[in-house]
């Protein structure tokens, strides 16, 4: 009988040196496996900027990429054009072009290496993925530059969210993929007593097998953080991954693809298991690629409109979407008024609110709220105090620029201008000058007072303070918003157990993730790998959560080979 994994071929023997060295990642994998279970804090990737030196290596690498101009993916077949028109939100064109593939050539080539990758088994695949992540981590300052100058994130955020935090999410996905692929033992024995007819005996081998090409459709604002989970979940389960970055944020994922291809080749696997499909701006190649019969998995982060289109049309694939929602904060009462204001001010300001998790609708009783240290505060006082907290946070331009980053594209600025007409402006958005990049567009949050909730998403530095008849009314608004628009995050402030219980009830009913009484250094718009689920996958904002078992189990099937034993 054959082994579960075929006897080593020449190619396998060649990969042994690399694989032997990568066995050092086994300890990392084991800790990750333990941590997805305990949900405690852990990361192998330092997050303090000091850990990455002064950033000069990254700046030099970024300059060299721009100097070179053409971003080669050596050996990737079927390139029929070189495209790319990225412009840094800090005010200059990147001047880099990337391979644009002919899918009729590239997709079949991506499938050629699948059997060897499948036969390598879950552990080798996981260790190879961890080596890819380790090489990405080694180049975090370069990724920081790439993320900063495609998304507009400020440098420190680009470094952290685009670097260690994204790498954590990727590692988390690898751990989940490994855990799910190894739930069934590789080999089992079965014996059924049949009385005087003796005993039936069977043995079975269980092999996790991939399902087809996995298409990653990247987003503009968090190309690595939102991209790595699907990328690594699919690769670790044996699927080739085709990366179609957002045309304005190609570089971070192009670097990822190149590192992955190099690592795979070094281990003796086919580098075409990972490939890049850059598109020209406005080409809309995601639509074409998503309907290809070779594509069995799609990971998408972006607009609700296109996410819905994918879910409805790419029926040959399993589609994982993170779309848009309307994130709500319910403010009922607090025992730490200043903490609440500071926490909310930070959440509204971080990356100019250009996060799928930034609060938008702040529901505040028209009659005001109770606070422990500051007594009763009227609706207008709460809004004015929040505006004051934002102003204090962003009073210094240099500090403000470091928190806000740059506006990612002109549509955000246009939306911001239009939003001033939606109610009474309680806090005007102001322009901030960047000390280094005079052409960057940097804007502080706008807060608009309204009597009615705003039903659709206003992506960017736009918040609405909405006067509700009561907290009960706010909960009704929340439920309606969750049901019709969904939300990536819900936040609540209350000291009343019955309000807390009702708020939890609405979030359980409508399947939304809830953060309660955040007044310190944890913010509703941030989720930590291993501990926090990003989205619930159960309301209109997203059909998947980062990262749970449901995010990886559809990416492979199990083939059982049974024999009399």
489-508 residues in contact with its own copies (CB under 8 A) are 497, 500-501, 504-505, 507-508
Within 298-317, the residues that bind its own copies by CB under 8 A are 311-312, 315
Contacts of 275 (CB under 8 A, 6+ apart): 73, 76, 101, 106, 109, 110, 240, 241, 242, 243, 257, 261
Which residue in the set 75, 93, 367, 520 belongs to the binding site for its own copies (CB under 8 A)?
520
38 binds its own copies per the rule CB under 8 A: yes
Within 111-130, the residues that bind its own copies by CB under 8 A are 115, 118-119
Minimum separation from the CB atom of position 418 to its own copies (A): 32
- Number of residues binding to its own copies, judged by CB under 8 A: 72
45 binds its own copies per the rule CB under 8 A: no
DSSP string, 105-166: HHHHHHHHTHHHHHHTHHHHHHHHHHHHHHHHHHTHHHHHHHHHHHH---HHHHHHHHTHHH
Distance, in Å, from the CA atom of 361 to the CA atom of 455, rounded to the nearest integer, reads 9
Which residue in the set 157, 475, 514, 546 belongs to the binding site for its own copies (CB under 8 A)?
514
512 binds its own copies per the rule CB under 8 A: yes
State which residue, 203 or 413, has the beta carbon closest to its own copies: 203
State which residue, 469 or 496, has the beta carbon closest to its own copies: 496
Closest CA to 259 of 135, 147, 170: 135
2 binds its own copies per the rule CB under 8 A: yes
Closest CA to 373 of 329, 330, 332, 339: 339
Angle between helices 121-138 and 251-266 (to 10 degrees): 130
Within 172-191, the residues that bind its own copies by CB under 8 A are 180, 183-185, 188-191
Stretch that binds its own copies, among 68-76, 82-90, 199-207, 433-441 (CB under 8 A): 199-207
State which residue, 2 or 395, has the beta carbon closest to its own copies: 2
State which residue, 11 or 202, has the beta carbon closest to its own copies: 202
529 binds its own copies per the rule CB under 8 A: no
For 506, the token pair is: 């609405």
- Please identify which residue in the block is written with the tokens 């009913």: 509
**If DSSP states are collapsed to H, E and C, what string results for 477-530?**
HHHHHHHHCCCCCEEEECCCHHHHHHHHHHHHHHCCCEEECCCCCCCCCCCCCC
Which residue in the set 27, 63, 200, 428 belongs to the binding site for its own copies (CB under 8 A)?
200
Contacts of 67 (CB under 8 A, 6+ apart): none
DSSP string, 402-465: HHH---SSHHHHHHHHHHGGGSEEEE---B---SS-TT---BPPEEEEESS---S---SSEEEE
Minimum separation from the CB atom of position 491 to its own copies (A): 10
Mask for 211-250, x = binds its own copies (CB under 8 A): x---------------------------------------
Which residue in the set 192, 282, 375, 438 belongs to the binding site for its own copies (CB under 8 A)?
192
Stretch that binds its own copies, among 141-149, 361-369, 380-388, 514-522 (CB under 8 A): 514-522
For 132, the token pair is: 């890819």
State which residue, 410 or 564, has the beta carbon closest to its own copies: 564
Minimum separation from the CB atom of position 89 to its own copies (A): 29
209 binds its own copies per the rule CB under 8 A: yes
Terminal CA-to-CA distance of the chain, rounded, Å? Answer: 11
CA-derived radius of gyration, the chain: 25
Distance, in Å, from the CA atom of 174 to the CA atom of 134, rounded to the nearest integer, reads 13
Q: Is 300 helix (H, G, I), strand (E, B) or coil?
A: strand
Stretch that binds its own copies, among 53-61, 77-85, 222-230, 510-518 (CB under 8 A): 510-518
380 binds its own copies per the rule CB under 8 A: no
State which residue, 6 or 69, has the beta carbon closest to its own copies: 6
Within 546-565, the residues that bind its own copies by CB under 8 A are 548-550, 553-554, 557-564
- Tell me if 292 sits within 8 A of 161, measured CB to CB: no
State which residue, 63 or 559, has the beta carbon closest to its own copies: 559
Which residue in the set 273, 515, 525, 529 belongs to the binding site for its own copies (CB under 8 A)?
515
DSSP string, 328-382: EEEE-EES-HHHHHHHHHHHHHGGGG-STTS--EEEEETT-EEETTTEEE-HHHH
State which residue, 459 or 523, has the beta carbon closest to its own copies: 523
Minimum separation from the CB atom of position 472 to its own copies (A): 17
Minimum separation from the CB atom of position 116 to its own copies (A): 11
Which residue in the set 31, 57, 204, 370 belongs to the binding site for its own copies (CB under 8 A)?
204
């Amino acid at each position: 009988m054959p082994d579960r994994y075929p006897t080593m071929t020449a190619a396998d023997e060649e990969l042994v040196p690399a694989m032997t060295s990568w066995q050092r990642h086994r300890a990392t994998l084991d800790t990750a496996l333990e941590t997805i279970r305990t949900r405690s804090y852990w990361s192998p990737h330092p997050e303090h900027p000091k850990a990455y030196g002064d950033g000069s290596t990254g700046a030099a690498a970024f300059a060299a990429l721009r100097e070179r101009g053409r971003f080669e993916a050596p050996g990737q077949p079927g390139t029929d054009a070189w495209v790319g028109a990225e412009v840094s939100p800090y005010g200059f064109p990147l001047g880099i072009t990337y391979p644009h593939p002919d899918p009729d050539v590239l997709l079949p080539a991506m499938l050629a290496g699948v059997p060897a990758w499948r036969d390598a088994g879950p552990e080798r695949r996981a260790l190879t993925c961890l080596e890819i992540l380790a090489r990405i981590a080694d180049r975090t300052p370069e990724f920081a530059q790439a993320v900063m100058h495609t998304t507009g994130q400020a440098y420190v955020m680009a470094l952290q969210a685009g670097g260690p935090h994204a790498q954590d999410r990727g590692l988390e996905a690898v751990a989940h993929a490994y855990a799910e692929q190894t739930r069934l033992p590789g080999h089992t024995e079965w014996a059924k007593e049949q009385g005087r007819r003796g005993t039936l005996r069977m043995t079975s081998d269980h092999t996790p097998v991939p399902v087809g090409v996995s298409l990653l459709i990247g987003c503009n604002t968090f190309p690595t953080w939102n991209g790595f989970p699907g990328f690594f979940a699919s690769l670790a389960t044996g699927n080739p991954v085709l990366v179609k970055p957002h045309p304005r944020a190609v570089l971070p994922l192009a670097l990822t693809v190149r590192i992955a291809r190099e690592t795979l080749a070094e281990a003796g696997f086919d580098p075409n298991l990972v490939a890049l499909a850059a598109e020209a701006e406005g080409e809309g190649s995601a639509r074409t690629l998503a309907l290809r019969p070779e594509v069995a998995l799609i990971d998408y982060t972006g607009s609700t409109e296109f996410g819905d289109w994918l879910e409805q049309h790419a029926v040959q694939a399993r589609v994982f979407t993170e779309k848009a929602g309307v994130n709500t904060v319910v403010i009922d009462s607090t025992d730490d008024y200043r903490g609440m204001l500071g926490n909310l001010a930070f959440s509204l300001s971080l990356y100019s609110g250009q996060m799928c998790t930034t609060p938008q609708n702040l529901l505040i009783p028209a009659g005001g709220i109770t606070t422990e240290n500051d007594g009763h505060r009227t609706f207008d006082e709460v809004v004015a105090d929040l505006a004051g907290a934002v102003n204090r946070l962003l009073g210094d331009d240099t500090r403000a620029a470091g928190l806000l980053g740059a506006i990612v594209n002109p549509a955000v600025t246009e939306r911001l201008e239009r939003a001033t007409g939606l109610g009474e402006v309680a806090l005007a958005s102001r322009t901030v000058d960047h000390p280094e990049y005079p052409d960057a567009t940097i804007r502080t949050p706008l807060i608009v007072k309204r009597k009615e909730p705003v039903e659709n998403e206003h992506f960017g530095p736009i918040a609405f303070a909405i006067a509700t008849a009561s907290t009960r009314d706010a909960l009704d608004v929340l439920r309606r918003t969750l049901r019709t628009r969904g939300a990536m995050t819900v936040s609540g402030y209350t000291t009343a157990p019955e309000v807390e219980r009702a708020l939890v009830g609405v979030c359980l009913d409508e399947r939304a993730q809830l953060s309660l009484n955040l007044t310190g250094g944890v913010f509703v718009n941030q989720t930590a790998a291993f501990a926090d689920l990003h989205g619930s996958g159960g309301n209109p904002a997203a059909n998947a959560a980062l990262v749970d078992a449901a995010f990886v189990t559809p990416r492979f099937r199990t083939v059982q080979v049974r024999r009399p034993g």
